Structure 1
Amino acid sequence: MVRDVDLYVTVPSFFRCPISLDVMKSPVSLCTGVTYDRTSIQRWLDSGNNTCPATMQVLNSKEFVPNRTLQRLIQIWSDSVQTQNDRRADSSANSVVAREEIEVLVKEMRAQKEKIDHLSKFICFAKESEENCEFLAKFDGFVEMLVGFLGGDKDINFIERVVKILVLTLNKVGDYKALRLLMLKQDNDIGSRDCMSSLLLLLKQGRSVNSRVGVLKLIEAVAIDAESKQMVAEKEGFLLELVKLVGLENDPSLIEASLSCLIAISMPKRVRMKLINFKVIGELRKLLTGGQNASVSIIEKALKLLEMVTSFRGGRADFCNDAACVEAVMNRVLKVSSDATEHAVMILWSVCYLFRDRDAQDAVVKSNGLTKILLLMQSNCSPGVRQMSGDLLKIFRVNSKSNYCLSSYETKTTHIMPF
């Protein structure tokens, strides 16, 4: 989170934690209605206290709930302040740059002169037009220079600006293979590790959501084959950080970018196995059950990633043992989108029909899954979804002598014939 001392602005008092007086990163509310930063209040309670620090009332419950509205307000404020700060820095760098000056600026940067100021000029130049973005992307040695800076500097402000320029010019680079070789090339192990270390540092400590989303876009662009996906995933701490960013408490745009990046790098089997070990299924369940306001795109991506990890025995075991997760998938079969429906049905078909997991079958029944499957078959779904839905119904027909007896199944939709 940004600090007001850096931005010369006044922080709204209700953004500050009553205990630490710092801007709250994860605001949570006690039963007294007072909101604190999660880390501060957890430390207070873990010390044996049973009162509200602000009111000194005895707590009837030590449970707290995330104050998502306040967290979103803090994030919006933080991003707006950061944007203003960037504009201030950019304007002070004489933003209007002619193409003829680019060569001079590049030479000066290579000579380690005024790097921050020059990066601001490049950013403003790129923002002026698509043509300028392409000019920078094609300028001899420019992208290589930026990637080199990523591997040799640990200043967050500097890394943010380098990533910002790379993202602005990303669509104009054309050959992502060349960019991949620059960032992940094997003949320079130290350099490639430093590059990934800088990106991971920004992902963890970036001052704005946009800069962290930029890192994810950059990683997704260079993870173009199995080898590069594996190299990205093997960077210590990177995969675990992506799983953390999927958490509900993060900004929706960051959640979506994290899911998209995870999907892009999770094609190799070894990567998916690591995700299972990092308990990604639990995080996806939180998204599917607690994200009532989650966008359609987030739900689609969450289901897609869940489909990928449940293709392994360990992933299926974790999923089937989590009845709430099975129910969450069942609840997303309808009323989201055709893509979400396809991913959800594929997951259920795989665990219930293909692998005949009884726990998953029980969870489907308990979540009124039969009704939803019947309704789905009567909808305008794809032939593949209809076929998988039919297979699921056959499972329950086969088990009709057990708890899945469809003959006693009560519904007002008597016109629906499952068989």
Structure 2
Amino acid sequence: DRVSIQQWIDSGNRTCPITKLPLSENPSLIPNHALRSLISNFAHVSPKESSCPRTQQEHSHSQSQALISTLVSRSSSNASKLESLGRLVRLTKRDSLIRRKVTESGAVRAALDCVDSCNQVLQEKSLSLLLNLSLEDDNKVGLVADGVIRRIVAVLRVGSPDCKAIAATLLTSLAVVEVNKATIGSYPDAISALVYLLRVGNDRERKESATALYALCSFPDNRKRVVDCGSVPILVEAADSGLERAVEVLGLLVKCRGGREEMSKVSGFVEVLVNVLRNG
């Protein structure tokens, strides 16, 4: 899409090809890392399925009720819950009606309980389901109210690498809603857990934690919180290693006084910026 948009602009067009509204005199393209991350992880945790005809969709809707019943039943074994979660993840990937059905059925509480499980596979599938459910804007605030942040923070600290990456992506999705940015930012250890993951995680974990921090830092009050967690040297190191999203976070932190002060203390900070500019 970026190539097509750039070609449109380079051809001298100064109106949006969709809305026909005028663009600025010298429009610049800014990558939406949060959206890119959500799309990437959505595909990662929910394997691609072929489109199904109407009869198969109707079957999926009727099937979902049985899967929900298994998930919420206290008598269900972990194996049966895992099977139900896996199939619900596939069903909720593209079907908004099933996402709403799962939410309205009370299955969110059961999924949250599975996140608390010591079974890492069960934990990963439940996080994937919650990520799918969070695609509905109406669910984002409800998930936070149901206590999802506490579970996410715990997973960011002690979960498996895949679970940590999905948990960070889930925070990014929830932070699309402005009120959630404030709630997540003020939650004890939420930001510090992301900063810690940025420091010690693998490539995927670091990318997702940086994306979540970027989404949260669009809320001004969170910038000081991120700075106070000692993030600036970690972000500079990540930027120096080529993590583009770390540069984007620094671009937001520089807007607060504390961020600028911390950046001035980092040895070689200017050199890192020069290298970033030189290498694109």
Q: TM-score, normalised by structure 2?
A: 0.70
- 1:322 corresponds to which letter in structure 2? Y
Equivalent of 1:295 in 147, 160, 166: 160
3-state DSSP class of the match of 1:395?
Answer: coil
Q: C-alpha distance in 2, partners of 1:394/1:172?
A: 43
- 1:359-414: CA deviations, max 9, x gaps? x3333223211110110110022x4x154134134224xx15xx8623762x5xx3
Structure 1 residues 345 and 320 mapped into 2: Cα distance closer, same or farther (>3 Å)? Answer: same
Other-structure match for 1:182: 59
Q: C-alpha distance in 1, partners of 2:252/2:225?
A: 13
On the 8 A contact 1:299/1:340 being kept in 2, the answer is: yes
**Larger RCO: 1 or 2 (CA < 8 Å, sep 6+):** 2
Other-structure match for 1:416: 269
- 1:258-285: CA deviations, max 9, x gaps? 0111112321111222201102111111
Aligned length: 225
3-state DSSP class of the match of 2:199?
Answer: coil
Runs of at least 5 residues in structure 2 that lack an aligned partner in the other structure: 1-46, 274-280
Once the two structures are TM-superposed, the CA of residue 252 in structure 1 deviates from its matched residue by 0.8
Once the two structures are TM-superposed, the CA of residue 219 in structure 1 deviates from its matched residue by 1.0
- After the TM superposition, which residues 330-345 of structure 1 pair with which residues of structure 2 at under 5 Å, given as runs? 330-345=195-210
Equivalent of 1:313 in 168, 178, 182: 178
More helix by share: 2
Other-structure match for 2:102: 232
Equivalent of 2:251 in 382, 391, 395: 391
Structure 1 residues 277 and 347 mapped into 2: Cα distance closer, same or farther (>3 Å)? Answer: same
Other-structure match for 2:151: 283
Percent identity (aligned): 16
Structure 1 residues 390 and 238 mapped into 2: Cα distance closer, same or farther (>3 Å)? Answer: same
3-state DSSP class of the match of 1:342?
Answer: helix
Other-structure match for 1:271: 139
3-state DSSP class of the match of 2:268?
Answer: coil
On the 8 A contact 1:296/1:337 being kept in 2, the answer is: yes
- 1:182-226: CA deviations, max 9, x gaps? 2425xxxxx975x35532345x3222x322110001112222222
Other-structure match for 2:219: 355
Structure 1 residues 303 and 176 mapped into 2: Cα distance closer, same or farther (>3 Å)? Answer: farther
Aligned-pair Cα RMSD in Å:
2.9
3-state DSSP class of the match of 2:176?
Answer: coil
Report runs of 4+ in structure 1 exceeding 3 Å deviation. Answer: 170-180
Q: C-alpha distance in 2, partners of 1:270/1:181?
A: 23
Other-structure match for 1:367: 229
- 1:110-162: CA deviations, max 9, x gaps? xxxxxxxxxxxxxxxxxxxxxxxxxxxxxxxxxxxxxxxxxxxxxxxxxxxxx
Other-structure match for 1:199: 70
On the 8 A contact 2:235/2:247 being kept in 1, the answer is: no
Q: C-alpha distance in 2, partners of 1:182/1:299?
A: 33
On the 8 A contact 2:85/2:129 being kept in 1, the answer is: yes
- 1:214 corresponds to which letter in structure 2? E
Does residue 324 in structure 1 map to residue 177 in structure 2? no
Runs of at least 5 residues in structure 1 that lack an aligned partner in the other structure: 1-169, 186-190
Q: C-alpha distance in 2, partners of 1:197/1:386?
A: 39
Does residue 405 in structure 1 map to residue 276 in structure 2? no
Q: C-alpha distance in 2, partners of 1:205/1:171?
A: 31
Q: C-alpha distance in 2, partners of 1:391/1:200?
A: 43
- After the TM superposition, which residues 87-166 of structure 1 pair with which residues of structure 2 at under 5 Å, given as runs? none
Q: C-alpha distance in 2, partners of 1:407/1:266?
A: 35
Other-structure match for 2:8: none
Other-structure match for 1:218: 87
